[in-house]
Amino acid sequence: MTLWGLMILCGLVTFFIRYSFIAAEGRFQPADWFRRLLPFVPIAALTALAVPELLLVGGSVQIVNPRLWAGMTAILVAALWRNTLLTIGCGFAAFWLLQRLI
């Protein structure tokens, strides 16, 4: 019973975090500085998610690791061709290749 209560509580917490600004939209006039932050949410949040996955191995920075250099390959491919599937394909190809080499 406590487990289900806890689950529902955590579900509500998660939901209201995701609902917060959607619910507030139109109810208040956001400040200028706040509006200037918003265009950077995708870049900042998704980079924060991705970079530790490339650089950290077991919690410490590793320069010689397949994920980092496969990620660099993907960044280069994405910058040159702006194609999602090509980026993911080249990234994985580099990852598997480097795993054999390193």
Partner 1 sequence: MSRRQAFALGVRALLPMLLGVAPFGVIYGVVALQSGIPPLAAMAMSSVVFAGSAQFLLAQLVGAGAPLLLTAGAVGLVNLRHALYSASVAPVLARLPQRWNLLLAYLLTDEAYAAAIPHLLAEPRSPFAHWILFGSGFALWAGWQLSTLIGVALGAQLPADLGLDFALPLTFIAIVVPMIVDRAGLAAALGAGVVAVLLAGLPYKTGLFIAALVGLVVGAVLSRRAA
Q: Which residues make up the interface to partner 1 (CB under 8 A)?
A: 2-11, 13-15, 17-26, 33-34, 36-56, 59, 61, 67, 70-71, 74-75, 78-79, 82-85, 87-88, 91-92, 95-96, 99
Least separation in angstroms between residue 36's CB and partner 1 is 4
Longest dimension (CA), the chain: 57
By three-state DSSP, how is residue 27 classified?
coil
CB of 95 to partner 1, least distance (A): 6
d(CA 17, CA 29): 20
Shortest reach from residue 22's CB to partner 1, in Å: 5
- Name, in order, each residue with C-beta under 8 angstroms of 96's C-beta and a sequence gap of 6 or more: none
Name the residue nearer to partner 1 (CB basis): 7 or 64. Answer: 7
